[in-house]
Structure 1
């Protein structure tokens, strides 16, 4: 035992310290992590998406006019045919418009007809102007003959001539006004007739009909409620055909195309996997969720489906047989794994949730080490 007062100077103490440091260094430099050899397996790469089942041709039923919901012809779950009556709406404004349009049409017809008071007055003015012109013409030509015989004054001759010319211009103006008014009244009559026809068409819009053959999945209003053109009255879709709506992250959307195989799991069928394929990719991104909407259909539909059934989808991007893979947990970063000789850069290929394909950089005999956290 060391009996020195300064234990730090004791050779035994120094030796123990040096031994401990070497042990720590050796332990830190050693490769004591888990070791595995690359595997050769069949690998499939897929894109994950949330899934929602919806009827094909699903649409919201809207009222064509604002008003009061008078009668509901259907209930949720009913099957309807194209053209079936769904709702009836009461709206007094179009009815009043139709009555007013009819009155305007009758007035326009009266103004344009053979007994038109407007044209009748102008014709009376024309008859009076024609009589005045005849009288002024007689006076003018009589005075003209006298003036040619040097009888009468030049002032009287000019006065008769001016009266004759003014009468002629007045007649011409009234005849022109008659033709213009007759054309204007004809246009007003046609406009009033078109307006009346239009209001009759609007009056028929009080009945809301189904656009498709399908099932009523929702009825959103009750009789007596106020309805507007912006609020949906109901939702109708196909009774037999269903779509799968999938939301795909924007980083994965470029990997997708129509026809790709998809595996669907639904919460309502927890122990089953259904095959489907992509039928449509919507090009506009949802800025809120940063996702794209993709549609698919079941290759073989489940026995029972309801709108809104939720689940998950795995869209197959690529598959490869006998691929050389390593577990994802053994990667130091996206391109390096650890071997006995140190970090090695690799080229990767397909990958799934567990494994990454190694294209270059490793062989099946290269042992790799799991990095320590």
Structure 2
């Protein structure tokens, strides 16, 4: 990218005839100078992104063409990956089994429930027997050993009931954990299965179709390029040597390669912070202030970014500036060093060393 400078008016150069030969003379003059940074680029759709394959397989459905308007969530293509389908079906069935095992009507929990009911009945019987033997013992009708045996049976039955109840709780908790685990596996495999269906991430317009029906694609392959058709901007590649002069809000003049007789006014909207290694430049986004009547993305363009303006600058034609920033005065044919400002291919801004009244000679 290059920096250029423009003048508001043309200069006047006087040609004098002396001693049989022509010598060019000029005087410094006041003019407006505009500093420009040149950049090339292309039209891009805002929010443009690549719609990519998330799995491997053959494209068995491709339901779009370039230029189609697409909505978020719309299925544009289907990839035939049978492994994903089988895994999803298997995970769903295993989850249904785990779900049934977690229900109160599951065979395992029903068996433990039956054992609990039997243990409750036995406990009731043993407790009744223990109470009866206590009354008999109090009346000296049975021995202490018989009473202790009856009481021990009741205690043992109570312990068995508590153990079965703990077993039921543990089995129920384990079954629920298994159901949760299988549900996660089912959901994950369902997500993976859905990756066979390529869906639109954000609504927009299809600008490029990268694959054809029947193509074998791998994860990460681009299927389509989609962008916002309502906002097309100029993506500029700017040389790093010019980046210090740029900032958001600067005015830009854009010329499309499709019609170089027309220009569009635009504004620097965003300067991306990272260096683009592909183009070996920095990326600058420029949004149009004028209505853009040509909106095909990828269209090449040229742009001039207005980075500065000097009003009523003292300037001389570029050929009058010699090596070492010297100029030749007509008076005495004297060499004078000048202080320069903006230098373009045609003009030099003079900041000091000569005045507007000095007459200069060209080499």
Normalised to the residue count of structure 2, the TM-score between the two structures is 0.74
Map of 1:212 onto structure 2: 203
For 2:265 and 2:322, the matched residues in 1 are separated by 32
1:262 correspondence with 2:252: yes
Map of 2:17 onto structure 1: none
For 1:337 and 1:147, the matched residues in 2 are separated by 134
Map of 2:337 onto structure 1: 344
Map of 1:93 onto structure 2: 83
* Superposition pairs of residues 143-222 of structure 1, within 5 angstroms: 164-189=154-179, 192=182, 196=186, 203=193, 206-210=196-200, 211-214=202-205, 216-222=206-212
Query: Which one is further off, 187-196 or 61-70?
Result: 187-196
Is the CA contact 2:237–2:283 (under 8 Å) kept in the aligned structure 1?
Answer: yes
Higher CA-based Rg? 1
1:360 correspondence with 2:352: yes
Number of residue-to-residue matches in the alignment: 333
With over 3 angstroms needed to count, the CA separation of the structure-2 counterparts of 1:288 and 1:259, relative to structure 1, is same
With over 3 angstroms needed to count, the CA separation of the structure-2 counterparts of 1:240 and 1:195, relative to structure 1, is same
5+ residue gaps, structure 1, are: 1-32
For 2:265 and 2:180, the matched residues in 1 are separated by 62
Larger % of strand: which?
A: 2
5+ residue gaps, structure 2, are: 1-22
SS of equivalent residue, structure 2 residue 108: helix
Shift of 1:179: 2.6
Map of 2:10 onto structure 1: none
Map of 2:226 onto structure 1: 236
RMSD: 3.7
SS of equivalent residue, structure 1 residue 366: coil
Is the CA contact 2:336–2:353 (under 8 Å) kept in the aligned structure 1?
Answer: no
* Superposition pairs of residues 32-71 of structure 1, within 5 angstroms: 36-71=26-61
For 1:332 and 1:319, the matched residues in 2 are separated by 26
Is the CA contact 1:62–1:234 (under 8 Å) kept in the aligned structure 2?
Answer: yes
SS of equivalent residue, structure 1 residue 58: strand
Map of 1:283 onto structure 2: 273
SS of equivalent residue, structure 1 residue 182: helix
For 2:285 and 2:151, the matched residues in 1 are separated by 90
Map of 1:122 onto structure 2: 112
